[in-house]
Amino acid sequence: MKKYDIAIIGAGAGGLNAAFEALVLGKKVVLIEKNAPGGECTWSGCIPSKALINIADEIHTAKKYGAVNINGKEILNKVRTLIHEAHQAEAVEVLNQAGINYIKGYAKFKDSNTLDVDGKEIKADKIFICTGSSALVPPIKGLDWIDYLTNENIFLLDDLPKSMIVLGGGPIGVELAQAFNRLGVSVKIVEMAETILFREEKEMALEIQSILEKEGVEVFTSSKGIEVKEEIEGVNLIVDKDGKTNEIKAEKILLALGRKPNLKGFNLEKIGVRYNNKAIEVNECFETNIPNIYAVGDVVGPYLFSHMGAVQAKQAVRNAFTKTKEIVDYSNTSWCTFTHPEFARTGMKEEEARAKFGDNIQVFTHKYRDIDRAVVDQKSQGMAKIICDKEGYILGASILGERACEMLGELQIVKSFKIPFYRLHEAIHPYPSYSELLLTMSKNAYDNKK
């Protein structure tokens, strides 16, 4: 039996960051993963989707200048090649060289300090549950009888389908819908809410929806899938909208309805770890109700992002092994939806800010079409909205447009370190650049302060 300072179940973003943070603290680490290290993000999430999106964007741009021959098999093979290239930074050899004992196997709890990994016992002072999440499969009649797609198998296809229904208009669904449409796949999005990306600023969500529709994506909102039938040429989704049913047909159907935590099969019940169908219960330090057992990432939430899992993991390790107790400030959480143009967000929407602060807020907006760089690049679609309190501190920001995700980083520094937004105009920004958008808005905030 081997003894460690920390045993980590799951080698995704949370598990990998926990392992390396523990190494920094001089701890003996074992990392257990039933598949290859990297987790959902590397193999079926962030990395393959961004690879596909980039290829689709290149092809979309090339189409402006003439016909483009699209080879679906080559594209999907290229995506898989890029996955393996990205994986090299977290390959088993890299982990072992760093000092992490990596074990490929399935871990189950025997007691609060002991794991059974395929028949071998491992003991540790601290055990971290970083088992991630899986695609949510809805209870739609007939779904179990068809060969549906999720993010976990869509990148394993041999070739592009001719047509596809995307069930769900959230970030995953919208990103993949646009990318596959740009690659020549006829795409239809089915979303229960009134708009796609319904959690975001409504005017921006509607603008993205309009862009998708102009590119050829069909969008069915306020529509609920109630039954799926398999047909000779593919699938037939029966949807309900306002009490009326409609049939939507395609070769394939992609489920993009969110995620569910991976909680089954680890004997959590045996040792008494409390959880519900959404998450493992943890305190502010990420410790479960069982002392010395911690959980981070998608099994905890509330934000199911790789970067959030990384932040939680590092803080949880420091909480577990040092006297410092660190608490994540979720108000500074940021995220991006990698459509074209991109959408980026941190903090509150205007609606949320008004609900909390009433009229004691300031709202600044600016259009991309008023930025010289956006005009000459022919990428003038989009806008930015920044919400501040009366003192000028950022409560929330949303950007829809070219390089939105990169520009959000500048706002994150201002927001996280509690710098008044109006001070941003004091920093010299290069011209012509997209960051002129933030500079202009900050100057408006400064003028508004006078």
CA-angle at 369, arms to 366 and 371, nearest 5°: 75
Are residues 346 and 397 in contact, defined by beta-carbon separation less than 8 angstroms?
Answer: yes
Contact 171, 258 (CB under 8 A): no
**Smallest Cα–Cα separation from 313: which of 159, 153, 130, 182?**
130
The answer to whether 111 is annotated as binding is no
Buried b (16+ CB within 10 A) or exposed e, 124-155: bebbbbbbbbbbeeeebebbeebebbbbeebb
* Burial class of 201 by CB neighbour count within 10 A (0 to 12, 13 to 18, 19+): buried
Determine whether the annotation assigns residue 50 to a binding site: yes
* Closest to 404 measured CA to CA, from 387, 424, 388, 381: 381
114 is known to lie in a ligand binding site: no
- In the chain the first and final C-alpha atoms are separated, in Å, by 69
Opening angle at CA 391, ends 202 and 311, nearest 5: 65
171 is in an annotated binding site: yes
Number of residues in the chain: 450
- Secondary structure E strands in 137-250: 163-167, 186-190, 218-220, 224-231, 234-241, 244-250
Burial of 404 from C-beta contacts in 10 A (0-12 / 13-18 / 19+): buried
Q: Are 9 and 16 in contact (CB under 8 A)?
A: no
Is 396 annotated as contributing to ligand binding? no
- Report the alpha-carbon distance of residue 18 to residue 288 in Å, rounded: 16
Sequence-distant (≥ 6) Cβ neighbours of residue 291 within 8 angstroms: 112
Say if residue 169 carries a ligand binding annotation. yes
CA dihedral 44, 46, 47, 49 (to 10 degrees): 80
Determine if residue 298 is labeled as part of a ligand binding site: yes
The answer to whether the annotation marks 258 as part of a ligand binding site is yes
In this structure, the number of other CB atoms found within 10 A of the CB of residue 269 comes to: 12
173 is in an annotated binding site: yes
Measured distance CA(435)–CA(403) in Å, rounded: 9
Three-state secondary structure call for residue 383: strand
Residue 86: which H helix or E strand, with range?
A: helix 72-87
Q: From edge to edge, which strands make up the β-sheet containing 163-167?
A: 218-220, 186-190, 163-167, 252-255
The answer to the question of whether 225 is labelled as a binding residue is: no
Closest CA to 432 of 383, 386, 384, 379: 379
User: In 3-state terms, what secondary structure has residue 434?
Assistant: coil
175 in a known ligand binding site: yes
Instruction: State the binding site for FAD.
Output: 50, 131-133, 298
Instruction: State the binding site.
Output: 50, 131-133, 168-175, 191, 258, 298
Instruction: State the binding site for NAD(+).
Output: 168-175, 191, 258
